[in-house]
Amino acid sequence: MTTDTTAKARSVSVAFLGPPGTYSHQAAHEVFGGTAAYLAQEKVVDVFSAVSVDATYGVIPQENSIFGHVVETYNRLRHADIGSTKLVCGEVTVSVQHCLLVRKGVELHQIKKILSHEQALGQCRGFKARHLPSAVEIKMSSTAAAAEALLLSEYADAAAICSKLCASLFEGVVVLREGIQDTNDNYTRFFVIGGSDAADLRVPSPSHFKALVCLQTGPSPSGTSEAPSRSDILPLLSALQLPTIRIDRRPPRSNAETPGRDMYFVELQEDGHSADKDDVLKEREWSAKVDAALKRVQAAGGEVTLLGTWSL
């Protein structure tokens, strides 16, 4: 993601899913660079809370190509009470490139132990079999915790599998190998969220304009004794009349006997290429189109919330 240099230069604080050195941290770095203040949070909900209190922005994982969409993020978005202020204001996708980190001076043949999160260990089995067949795998709570553990004396002969960013966080730790994962199909996409006082993340000459909306069918007519059955979502989606590039459903939080209504998180996108208009004008036009789409959904009997518009 390319971001405006003025956004990077400005002093902003960014909440992310910690500890420092996670791929969430790396994603935040890609958007906000080295001058921002980074606030590590324990859970996804804490990132949201931080944005409503002291952080200018937050970076939350939306989906991983292997593990699917991040339930904690959608569970929090479904309760988003954002009124007229924006919430999602950007996105960034990070390819998960595992690195082998060691204490400075340690060579490959000296490595006796490999530390990492269980998932990362599992994703680098090919590299281990080829280069470190006799090393012992030790599971840690996170990839970043593995990197930090290299500082302990008992792990002087160990390597950590983690993000490249960890090498810059822990003194005396260096990258020995990059991209040691078995396959390249592992990537995570993040939303950037902003509080009401956050400036727009302006992208010069954006290629795409985006919007995230949450919609669900209206409540059943009252007074009917019939058991509620699931409603057809297609009329509401059709009413959007805008290019729809992602649809993510969350089941209702109700019991099995009286099912509630599913929530659909729908991402809309329009190409930004039109040389004859300036960016601000194009952005305004996109907002107006999204607003009109929301009105059409409401007219079709749906409930709809705008969770944010952004450009890319």
Contact positions toward a copy of itself, by CB under 8 A? Answer: 63, 65-69, 71, 74, 93-95, 184-185, 187, 208, 229-234, 237-238, 240, 243-257, 262, 264, 269, 271
In the complex with a copy of itself, which residue's Cβ is closer, 253 or 277? 253
In the complex with a copy of itself, which residue's Cβ is closer, 157 or 185? 185
Residue 237 CB, nearest approach to a copy of itself (Å): 6
* 215: nearest Cα among 284, 90, 299, 271: 299
Tokens read off for 212: 């995230």
In the complex with a copy of itself, which residue's Cβ is closer, 54 or 67? 67
Query: Which whole-number Å values give the CA distances from 156 to 136, 139, 172, 173, in the listed order?
Result: 14, 16, 11, 11
Residue 223 CB, nearest approach to a copy of itself (Å): 20
- The C-alpha atoms of residue 198 and residue 59 are separated, in whole angstroms, by 13
Q: Which residues contact 255 (CB under 8 A, 6 or more apart)?
A: none
CB 311 within 8 A of CB 203: yes
Residue 210 CB, nearest approach to a copy of itself (Å): 10
CB 22 within 8 A of CB 142: yes
CB 270 within 8 A of CB 243: yes
Residue 27 CB, nearest approach to a copy of itself (Å): 11
Residue 32 CB, nearest approach to a copy of itself (Å): 19
Q: Which residues contact 23 (CB under 8 A, 6 or more apart)?
A: 94, 96, 143, 163, 188
In the complex with a copy of itself, which residue's Cβ is closer, 195 or 308? 308
In the complex with a copy of itself, which residue's Cβ is closer, 111 or 214? 214
Residue 154 CB, nearest approach to a copy of itself (Å): 26
- The C-alpha atoms of residue 168 and residue 288 are separated, in whole angstroms, by 44
